[in-house]
């Protein structure tokens, strides 16, 4: 049996590409929480990069963002979009919560996930190093 999941980050109507975890999909909430220091609370796209930096061996593929209207999707639409074992995890960057649309369910459910380590913004390493130099 496959243990897969798909993670999308969103801020309002802006949504990221999906991160496909081909194995250990049930651990998605823990992996998201562990990646929190690399996530940007205002930029879904940077969150994809941050998650990949935190867990380079876990991401099997990056998929397209869902089409317009995704914010009104229920379980059936998410199931058609991905629908594999552990389903889709939506990380709401405004509300700092994670909702899962799991396989064999009738709707989304909020899952525990500690996002308290989210930074104010991510900066490239070069910019950070530049800011650390003293004259």
Distance CA 10, CA 92 (A): 5
Q: Are the beta carbons of 32 and 91 closer than 8 angstroms?
A: yes
Average pLDDT, integer, range 94-118: 86
Pairwise CA distance, residues 115 & 74, whole Å: 24
Task: Please give the Cα distance from 17 to 96 (Å, whole number).
Answer: 18
Q: Which 8-state DSSP code applies to residue 22?
A: S
pLDDT at 18 over 90: yes
Judge whether residue 24 has pLDDT over 70: yes
Give, for 78, the enclosing helix (H) or strand (E). Answer: helix 75-81
102 or 132, higher pLDDT: 102
As a whole number of Å, the CA-based R_g of the chain is: 15
Placement of tokens 């929480």 in the chain? 33
| C-alpha span between 133 and 113 (Å, rounded) | 35
Task: Write down the pLDDT at residue 121.
Answer: 55
Tell me, what DSSP letter sits at residue 100? E
Q: Taking 70 as the threshold, does the pLDDT of residue 59 lie above it?
A: yes
């Amino acid at each position: 049996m496959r243990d897969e999941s798909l993670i999308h980050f969103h801020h309002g109507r802006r949504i990221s590409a999906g991160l496909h975890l081909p194995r250990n999909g049930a651990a998605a909430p823990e992996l998201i929480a562990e990646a929190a220091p690399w996530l940007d609370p205002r930029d879904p796209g940077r969150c994809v990069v941050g998650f990949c930096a935190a867990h380079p061996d876990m991401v099997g593929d990056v998929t397209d963002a869902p089409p317009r209207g995704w914010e009104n999707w229920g379980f059936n639409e998410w199931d058609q979009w991905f629908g594999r074992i552990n389903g889709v995890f939506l990380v709401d960057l405004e509300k700092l919560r994670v909702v899962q649309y799991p396989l064999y369910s009738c709707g989304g459910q909020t899952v525990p996930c500690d996002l308290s380590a989210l930074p104010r913004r991510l900066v490239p390493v070069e910019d950070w190093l530049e800011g650390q130099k003293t004259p």
